[in-house]
Chain A
Amino acid sequence: MKKIIHLTINELDHEIAVEPNKTLADLLRYDLKLTGTKKGCDTGDCGACTVIMNGDPVNSCLVLAVQANGSRIETVEGLSTDEGIHPIQKAFVEKGAIQCGYCTPGMIMSTKSLLDKNPNPNEQEIREGISGNLCRCTGYTKIFEAIESLRS
């Protein structure tokens, strides 16, 4: 039987009826059409589905939608504003930190969470901050450069 949950996603309130076994990733992607959040494994290994839940990065494929009831969710779609794309997105574009782009939304959300908490991370903190996000294309080097360029 479906359950009614309340979520704030990118500052918009939602009241949604969901199956108890539906993951947050599937809810975002297939029900709400927020397909910017990607799925690369469905088992919490790759980090492509990373979203920010109540301020912390989570693998949305490992969170049941019902567990997220009452939460504040940020996804990649919520980053751009009327002024244009978010500085993190801009840095990823300008530093060449994106190749296939499949890990990118998750990578960017982990970066946002890192910088929200620590605006001036050192190299080790940057590495740890995105250690849950696998990238097979870039060798991470240009991703490190992009994040380094955002240090305040």
Chain B
Amino acid sequence: MKEFDIISTRANRIDTPDKATGRAVFVDDISRPGMLYGALLQSPHAHAKILSIDTSKAEKLKGVKAVITSKDAGSIKYGVSPARYDETVFAIDRVRYVGDEIAAVAADSLDIALAAVDLIKVEYEILPAVLTIEEAMKDGAPLLHEGSPKNLCAEVHQEFGNVEEGLKNSDIIITTKMKNKRQDGAFIEMQGCIAEFDNLGVLTLTSSTQVPHYVQRTVAMVLGMDVGKVRVIKPYVGAGFGIKAAANPMELACCILARKTKKPVKMNYTRDQVFMLARARHQFSHTITTGAKKDGTLMAIKHECWLDGGAYTSFGIATVYYTGSLLGGPYKLDNMSYDGYRVYNNKPACGAQRGHGAVIARAAFEQQLDMIAEKIGMDPLELRIKNMMETGDTTCNDLNMSSFGMSECIEAVRKGSGWDHKKGKMPKGKGIGMACGFFVSGAGYPIYRSDTWHGTVIVKLTEDGGTALVYTASAEIGQGSDTAFAMIAAETLGIPLENVRLASGDTDMGVDLGAYSSRQTLMTGHATKDAAEHAKRQVLEVLAEQLKVPVENMDIRNGFIEFKGAAPDFSGLRTRYIKEHRGWIDNPASEKLTFKEASRIAFLERGSIVGTGKYKPHDLGGKFKGAAVGTSPAYGCSAQVAEVTVDMETGQVTIDKITDAHDCGKAINLTSVEGQMQGSVSMGIGEAMHEEVIFDKQGRVLNHDLAEYKIVTSMDMPHVEAIVVESDEPNGPYGAKEVGEGAIMPTIPAILNAVYDAAGVRLNELPLTPERVYNAIQEYKEKNKIK
């Protein structure tokens, strides 16, 4: 007999019929009667003092309903982590990057709002701007924030074990540097929102966000309102990848405009404003020293990283910790040190993006593993197996791998790619490379310090007994979470998936920390299971009373009540149900008592059957400073093999194939798991091959569109073989854990290792433009005197 009826199948997603037919509603598809349109005035300068703001002309323009500045918005600071709040809705006396918000307008039409923005007169005193880490750290450089000397936003110093000793006992020591470029999330739906107040003073903000809960709290704090008077609704969202995981200034401005005008106000970012807000992947500059024994045993990592942070902290404090903490695995390693620095400068702030903080560290380190393997004459795949952690192991920085199918992933990609027939046997210009990685299944702690539940869920049975309604405040942003929770609810209740309806993304439905850190499947999944069990228990309790059968002798499966041993006589219940059902044509005729009958009887006895569920992780991690970042109830892990062709004459790299295996615990929906893997690989390929946000000397983004900022297209995407490796995660609902971010970790280093295999060159800077690869090949040829 199958273990599960619904989980681990390829059920069609519940949201996609609407998405395929154009019926799914995204925020810009919504309009309200009497709705106004908002627009922002943003700084044209990277660094300037604001001497004066004159809004009088804008206010006089016909059709303008409100013009707001910091006078209206106030000086309450907000951000992501409460200890590091450093933003105000509007600049008060200084702008710190091109795009810093100064004022906003609400008007009868967007055209009028934009015209009014042009009429706002701001006098600036331009200040010298610092655009790089080096400029920002120079003696005498202008400081962005009081209390941050040398523009140092954050620094982290950690040592686990004894790195000096570990390196001393190493036979091979390798030091390399690695640098990426600032990335953009490049989700296809630009951020947008609608704010409206009702006559009782309740604010509803409908927004394209990943985190309704955090946005609710931020809005309430900045506007000085009770959390209970702020409702945040997330309609369908055109993806986020981490960038939409915090309140943005437009959402706050929109709420203030709605309060002032007493009308619904809609605002949208244009694509260039998406680039201006940024909040995506930092530029990381790593220096890593790794020591190993002659037999390949890893001994120590010494890791230093500088993060180019931009003008505000955003997620940066978490980023700088993640950068260090997620290098602690997936290999056995006793000694690791980390010195991380995040530096402010006059560019848009960076934040979180898929694989938060850890992607480039992994790109550096996984190349070093190949270098070590080469030096000792070992297959790099075998070197990884030799050092691999096992289920139950804990890293030197206290991350516990409660399930860990890493070795199975490696074997899967070895077989899937034909590694053993290819490695070392490919012609010049063709190469194969591999890498591994792991990632959290949800941050162990909320962003603000609290004992809060990380997720609460309600399961309510309809009065006819036929349908279970699942209410969750979690955020479906494209990853398939709505379907995953509907499947978990159906499995738990023992009813078919089509008998579950689900509504999500509304703070009125409960608390859910949202879609970030790959947390929802595990955390909201747990809360869903808990709520469904609660509802099911109530139905069975009523049956127990009615049929005089102990609860533990009954179960619900596929929509029917199952009894241990012979079924009792339930004809009395059926008759009662059918009497209730007068005039309907679908009277139950099955030999088994149906769930529908049972839950109708339960309603008659007890009123609405409502199950409530909740989840928060157990105490996790070590006690050292920063120990919270990187802790998680579980870790997903991946191995990938990349096969590439390098044109030795032009430096053009073509990725021929990626073989990807991911341990996601128990897969709730196999198709969705593969989709996350393939999507992760495509984002990794983009970062490896061509993505780079480019600035001019004034701090303006030059390639602020999807033509010049190059994400992977259908022409670039190689064939990806996605292999789902299932393990049983003890801390996950039905054994499930993450897949959304872990799958991006090995992509870049696997490509880099394959390029080395093909062309003999190690690239320590991304992206792999033909020019950069060509130059590396020329250097290699000169050094090795090859013509």
Contacts and interface: CB of A to CB of B under 8 A. Distances in A.
Interface in A72-106: 75-77, 79-80, 85, 89-90, 92-96, 98-105
A67 interface: no
A128 interface: yes
B715 interface: yes
Contacts of B24: 101
15 contacts: A34-B22, A35-B25, A35-B28, A41-B705, A42-B271, A99-B679, A100-B477, A101-B15, A104-B19, A126-B714, A130-B714, A134-B713, A137-B679, A139-B681, A141-B720
Interface stretch (B81-89, B459-467, B543-551, B669-677): B669-677
Contact of A96 (B672, B711, B712): B672
Contact of A38 (B10, B26, B714): B26
A100 B237 CA distance: 6
Nearest to B707: A45
B17 A85 contact: yes
A98 to B, nearest CB: 4
A-B CB proximity, top 6 nearest: A36-B22, A100-B478, A101-B19, A102-B238, A139-B682, A139-B678
A75 B19 CA distance: 14
B555 to A, nearest CB: 31
Interface stretch (B121-129, B181-189, B437-445, B615-623): B181-189
Main SS class of interface, A: loop
B683 A136 contact: yes
Contact of A137 (B31, B190, B239, B714): B239
Given A35-B25, A136-B186, A93 B717 contact: no
B388 to A, nearest CB: 27
B714 A131 contact: yes
A136 B187 contact: yes
Interface of A: 29-30, 34-43, 45-46, 48, 75-77, 79-80, 85, 89-90, 92-96, 98-105, 108, 126-128, 130-131, 133-144
Contact of A133 (B237, B682, B714): B714
Contact of B20 (A38, A41, A108, A144): A108
Contacts of B720: 139, 141
A120 to B, nearest CB: 18
Contacts of A48: 188
Main SS class of interface, B: loop
Contact of A35 (B17, B22, B186, B477): B22
Given A102-B187, A131-B713, 12 more contacts: A30-B31, A36-B23, A41-B271, A75-B22, A76-B21, A98-B19, A99-B239, A99-B675, A127-B714, A128-B714, A140-B712, A142-B675
Contacts of A41: 190, 271, 705-706
Contacts of A43: 271, 705-707
A35 B31 CA distance: 11
Nearest to A133: B714
B21 A38 contact: no
Contacts of B187: 100, 102, 136
A77 to B, nearest CB: 5
B188 A102 contact: yes
Contact of B22 (A96, A105, A135): A105
B479 interface: yes
B306 interface: no
B75 interface: no
B22 A77 contact: yes
A65 to B, nearest CB: 15
A136 B241 CA distance: 9
Contacts of B712: 139-140
Nearest to B28: A39
B650 interface: no
A58 B79 CA distance: 41
A93 B13 contact: yes
A92 B19 CA distance: 10
Given A136-B711, A140-B717, A96 B20 contact: no
Contacts of B271: 40-43, 45
Contacts of A128: 714-715
A66 to B, nearest CB: 17
Interface string B7-46: 0001011011111111111101101000000000000000
Nearest to B271: A41
A31 B674 CA distance: 39
A141 B477 CA distance: 19
A142 B16 CA distance: 13
B464 to A, nearest CB: 26
Given A35-B29, A41-B706, A98 B13 contact: yes
A149 to B, nearest CB: 14
Contacts of B56: none
Given A93-B20, A137-B679, A139-B681, A99 B478 contact: yes
B188 A136 contact: yes
Contact of B21 (A80, A103, A135, A140): A80
Nearest to B22: A36
A80 B13 CA distance: 19
Interface string B746-784: 000000000000000000000000000000000000000
B270 interface: yes
B706 A46 contact: yes
A40 B21 CA distance: 18
